[in-house]
Structure 1
């Protein structure tokens, strides 16, 4: 399909703009105000470009050959409905969190970021997220994850406290383990097929030996499962995220695990459409839901409570993927969009609670509803959305998953339906416990007199409003998710966009080597 040239020019911008701005911000490290302006301007332009791609990709995938080297020789950036939707939501969240962090700096009595490296690193993180969503080959996806790892480790250890260094060390070891597994999977994939281009892999993998194909699938699922914090690969998350500054925790919780979920969706639907580990994924989804929420119920610190709910609700997304149907995939995509927004919002609100109450421990908080009623509303709305109270977007996403689970009617899907309902009720219990203790119980100690900074409240309010907008715009959004799911369930749509008119599908030196090896084996 032919697209206006303007749409094609938008595709590299979410990657290129933040990287360029990061270099400029680093060069201006002595000028914090200039860093602020550059960072906000860059992410605003990225959001505008993402919205343009969201509109353009609704007519079909938009493919850009980096450096004018056509696939499979060159690297492709592909913006389809799923990647454009993820880009748009993540860009908005990144911009709001950046504005929140600027407001936090002003509220602390200075006009600087925590350190001069904060803005360049944050922009590099944004570029890594965009690169992962747009990548058209496995190795470039790996590069996107490595950009995320490098930037996130710096952000996680900002301030250099012992607690943050310890948590950052756990995080980086686990992330490196995931990266090594991913790199091994890429090497084996290239050895088996002679390519790492996703579209070309979609055509070559069906011809690979079933045992080898299963090994590749398991390795990729293991690598992405660690990044997405699927049980039992999620133990690292509750110990790593709560120690970081509020803006860092918020963007980590909202986005980084969803990049892993996105990678699972992309590879499972495109590379292994007829050989999926659906039963394994369903069991993992059920265990992730139930064990994650039981961990949340046991917590007495809001940050750790939300970290465990983050793990738990990843299970809903995996549930939709595992059902291997268009309806299940659409519900999963809708739920990913909802969860990115709501989880980020809640962690930003917790940052405000910590500032106003002096702690995130529920034993040390109380009476916030009386002294900060606006903060009570900012917490209550996304909290109820996370719990899935009707008619909010969390409820709509869960209903879509439950309907498809009931429609499939297998014993395992029924078990997941029951597990989903139990998880939702326990989420409500955990959230209401936090709500009652933080806002309604008598404060055990006198609360600090620190007010709630407007520069931090504004971006948080914008995200709360965006979460409500997902409810009011649920019809068009769900319809878009259904169209995205339809594309995913038909891999030929993606392949034909990357290789129009069958051009280049069989090209590549590596494929010739594979054929020579096969011929040599026959001769021997």
Structure 2
């Protein structure tokens, strides 16, 4: 297994190297395309390899040869490998879509030369956040995302995009400041920012201080994940960007925040002191988000509000703090990345075919482009949770986990989840009916949709269906990931040399892990 540890840094190193190369080739757009596609293909292959290998245990790479806790570690375990694999597939499909869109459009609206290096830097930032073994390096990953995101949001330099990008940056900087303050306080209290070492030292500090640190981290990550009431920025920021940029933002960037919440809640704060607060936030995020979606007449804004709403499902699973809850939450994250990205890509095709994303200006697209009607309908029903699709399976897993906890608040979340799912179905059926079935206000001639754009969108729709067909093995994998997260020892043992673990550390881990708010099992 250690022989394959060289694969761990590849999802970060390869895109960064390719970004520099693509920037140097800014006068050679064809070579830029080859470099970008080749780099993301390598990242996808490496991520799939890690997904298979780490099922036997985490892989750790000490950057620069400096072992933890002195140096920076990149750690690939089941959770990070799964997130890497899904995100790599998504970023590759979105890139192929954007290349085809650039070929079809005129030169002024095609992606400019800076798109490729910026997109590759964004990919590296996502991978760095997923693989980082210390909090400060997660912060670095977030800052890489922030810089690249602002460039991508404002491509084209229109007033609307600059305004949306400014809102996004201001909110992201607020999150970054909170994160940085939390980092400073954590280092002052514990003398380290290494995640594995923090798991051992945080139980030793004052409980009040520990609670403050937990609140600061959750606030920072909740802004990035668009958890209510810190989600108002998202529907105003995402819809203004080009379709490929909106798709990758909607699919990935909020999930990086969700991933950070999962990692820190399980590894650093397993006592579940804020679980009830997170449950209420999950309920509010679900309900407010979906009510916003129901009120929209623009498909992009409608999907942006459903994105916020379905973050609530993930927070629901996290807040249950049981193996079943973690399992369902991780599966739902993988499902949602794929389906939400596919929907935004399809909406880009809707805008091309209908000339608008406003539901009052669309209609009759099912007759003009039947393939597009199918491409929208399948992921829409998946997002709404229609059986037997992956959205249904993920929601059933969350509902079962909530019922198993059995508290009054958990039952409130179960009811809220069902209501939100029904309202999601209503909003998406309304959108599909208006865009594809109703009589268009203006008759349009048949439209030829570029295969280069239809193909990647169809591929992501197919990936969503694959999550349904492979639900058994995938759910078992997320279950093993959940057990390892709640046990914590596989991660800590892989990162820290024996000499760095003081006497009694294993006993302290056992005491925390055996807290009544958690269910543990074996690291199958």
Same fold (TM over 0.5): yes
Contact (CA 8 Å) 2:51, 2:82: kept in 1 or not? yes
1:445 paired residue among 442, 447, 450: 442
Contact (CA 8 Å) 2:369, 2:446: kept in 1 or not? no
Contact (CA 8 Å) 2:272, 2:321: kept in 1 or not? no
**Residue aligning to 2:252:** 255
**Residue aligning to 1:361:** 358
**Residue aligning to 2:93:** 96
* Structure 1 position 74, deviation (Å): 0.3
In structure 2, what is the Cα distance between the partners aligned to 1:50 and 1:112?
33
**Residue aligning to 2:53:** 56
**Residue aligning to 1:510:** none
**Residue aligning to 1:118:** 115
**Residue aligning to 2:511:** none
In structure 2, what is the Cα distance between the partners aligned to 1:448 and 1:182?
52
In structure 1, what is the Cα distance between the partners aligned to 2:266 and 2:331?
17
**Residue aligning to 2:377:** 380
Does 1:276 find its partner at 2:273? yes
Contact (CA 8 Å) 2:172, 2:224: kept in 1 or not? yes
Determine helix, strand or coil for the equivalent of 1:233: coil
* Structure 1 position 128, deviation (Å): 0.1
* Structure 1 position 499, deviation (Å): 1.3
* Structure 1 position 492, deviation (Å): 1.4
In structure 1, what is the Cα distance between the partners aligned to 2:67 and 2:285?
41
In structure 2, what is the Cα distance between the partners aligned to 1:234 and 1:278?
20
In structure 1, what is the Cα distance between the partners aligned to 2:46 and 2:109?
28
Deviations 1:178-213 (A, max 9, x none): 000000000000000000000000000000101100
* Structure 1 position 445, deviation (Å): 1.5
2:36 paired residue among 35, 39, 49: 39
* Structure 1 position 493, deviation (Å): 1.4
Contact (CA 8 Å) 1:156, 1:248: kept in 2 or not? yes
* Structure 1 position 4, deviation (Å): 3.7
Determine helix, strand or coil for the equivalent of 2:362: coil
Deviations 1:336-380 (A, max 9, x none): 000000000000000000000000000000000001000000000
Equivalenced residue count is 503
**Residue aligning to 2:167:** 170
**Residue aligning to 1:78:** 75
Does 1:29 find its partner at 2:26? yes
Does 1:503 find its partner at 2:503? no
Contact (CA 8 Å) 1:97, 1:459: kept in 2 or not? yes
2:479 paired residue among 453, 477, 482: 482
Does 1:107 find its partner at 2:104? yes
Contact (CA 8 Å) 2:109, 2:156: kept in 1 or not? no
Distance 1:273 1:54, change over 3 A: same
* Structure 1 position 110, deviation (Å): 5.2
TM-score w.r.t. the length of structure 1 is 0.95
Instruction: In structure 2, list runs of 5 or more residues that go unmatched.
Output: 504-524
> Which has the larger displacement, 355-364 or 401-410?
401-410
**Residue aligning to 1:335:** 332
Determine helix, strand or coil for the equivalent of 2:75: strand
In structure 2, what is the Cα distance between the partners aligned to 1:383 and 1:69?
47
Does 1:183 find its partner at 2:180? yes
* Structure 1 position 441, deviation (Å): 0.4
Contact (CA 8 Å) 1:32, 1:111: kept in 2 or not? no
Instruction: In structure 1, list runs of 5 or more residues that go unmatched.
Output: 508-524
Deviations 1:368-404 (A, max 9, x none): 0001000000000000000000000000000000011
**Residue aligning to 2:134:** 137
Deviations 1:306-365 (A, max 9, x none): 000000000000000000000110000000000000000000000000000000000000
In structure 1, what is the Cα distance between the partners aligned to 2:208 and 2:343?
44
In structure 1, what is the Cα distance between the partners aligned to 2:163 and 2:108?
29
Contact (CA 8 Å) 2:73, 2:133: kept in 1 or not? yes
In structure 2, what is the Cα distance between the partners aligned to 1:44 and 1:186?
34
**Residue aligning to 2:195:** 198
Contact (CA 8 Å) 1:296, 1:306: kept in 2 or not? yes
Deviations 1:23-64 (A, max 9, x none): 000000000000000000000000000001001110011000
RMSD across aligned positions (CA): 1.2
In structure 1, what is the Cα distance between the partners aligned to 2:488 and 2:287?
32
* Structure 1 position 506, deviation (Å): 5.7
* Structure 1 position 111, deviation (Å): 11
> After TM superposition, what 4+ stretches of structure 1 lie above 6 angstroms from structure 2?
none
Contact (CA 8 Å) 1:33, 1:112: kept in 2 or not? no
**Residue aligning to 1:229:** 226
> Which has the larger displacement, 403-412 or 317-326?
403-412
**Residue aligning to 1:518:** none
In structure 2, what is the Cα distance between the partners aligned to 1:220 and 1:114?
36
Contact (CA 8 Å) 2:330, 2:478: kept in 1 or not? yes
**Residue aligning to 1:520:** none
**Residue aligning to 1:425:** 422
Does 1:311 find its partner at 2:308? yes
TM-score w.r.t. the length of structure 2 is 0.95
Distance 1:474 1:260, change over 3 A: same
Contact (CA 8 Å) 2:294, 2:427: kept in 1 or not? yes
